[in-house]
Amino acid sequence: MEAHEPWAPPVVLPDGAPVPDGMADAGTAPPADRVAELVAAGRPVLVTLAAEPGGAGGPDSGLLAAASVYAWLGVRGFRAPESQLPALRQVLDMVASIQGRRPPALTRRGLA
């Protein structure tokens, strides 16, 4: 059985938080090809996500969809409005689980 590195969740920060040391700041809603270039360069990348103006206060589906694409590309840090952070964390965990990088939160064995 091969050894795996322990899974480290992405960094999730509120709007206005400083860029952590060592992270490349890709800016707000950068193009996917630019993000892919930064990730390929080997440094952890931070992306800032902006919520749609006039939202109903719940999770912003556009912001979460963009976050899932960035996470799939390998972005390791996200800044978003505080109201979006719980849903953002859930989306990032889902992407990591689909990619097989995150261990299951709960395992069950079914006996038939």
The pLDDT assigned to 9 comes to 85
Angle at 83 between CA 21 and CA 68, to 5 degrees: 65
Q: In 1-112, which residue ranges form alpha helices assigned H by DSSP?
A: 32-40, 61-73, 85-99
- In whole angstroms, what is the distance from residue 100 CA to residue 61 CA? 23
The answer to whether the CB of 47 falls within 8 A of the CB of 30 is yes
Ranges of the chain with pLDDT below 70: 1-7, 54-57, 112
Q: Which residues contact 4 (CB under 8 A, 6 or more apart)?
A: none
Beta sheet of 24-28, edge-to-edge order: 11-14, 77-80, 45-48, 24-28
Give the pLDDT confidence of 15-39 residue by residue, as tens digits.
999 999 999 999 999 999 999 999 9
Q: State residue 111's pLDDT score.
A: 72
Is residue 45 classed as helix, strand or coil in its secondary structure?
strand
- The pLDDT of residue 103: 79
Query: Residue 2: its pLDDT value, please?
Result: 46
Q: How far apart are CA 81 and CA 48, in angstroms?
A: 9
pTM of the model: 0.84
Q: What angle do CA 91, 4, 6 make, to 5 degrees?
A: 55
